[in-house]
Amino acid sequence: MRKVRDYDAELKALGDKARALKAKKVQQLGELVTSTGADALDLDTLAGALLAALESADAEEREAWRAKGSTFFQRRGKKARG
């Protein structure tokens, strides 16, 4: 005989997992802001910079930002290991 599934428990577990993932993402974003020094900016400036990045259609500009971010994480990883 087949085991009866507890859909309510499964949905609750999925909801709990989604909340935990969202909390982890928020924590990581906060750590990113702090580690880059962007926490020294006022909130309006930081929000404006992020919005400008989202709205940018210039592929070269976005690639330059991506490369700069990649370099930042590579340097940071070497500092942590060194």
pLDDT the model gives residue 62: 94
Pair of tokens at residue 63: 């690639």
Do the beta carbons of residue 20 and residue 13 sit within 8 Å? no
pTM over 0.75: no
Q: Quick one: pLDDT at residue 80?
A: 58
Task: Collect the ranges in the chain with pLDDT lower than 50.
Answer: none
Determine the pLDDT at residue 3. Answer: 85
Q: Please tell me the predicted confidence (pLDDT) of residue 36.
A: 94
Q: Report the C-alpha gap between 77 and 82 in whole angstroms.
A: 9
Q: Given this model, what pLDDT does residue 18 score?
A: 98
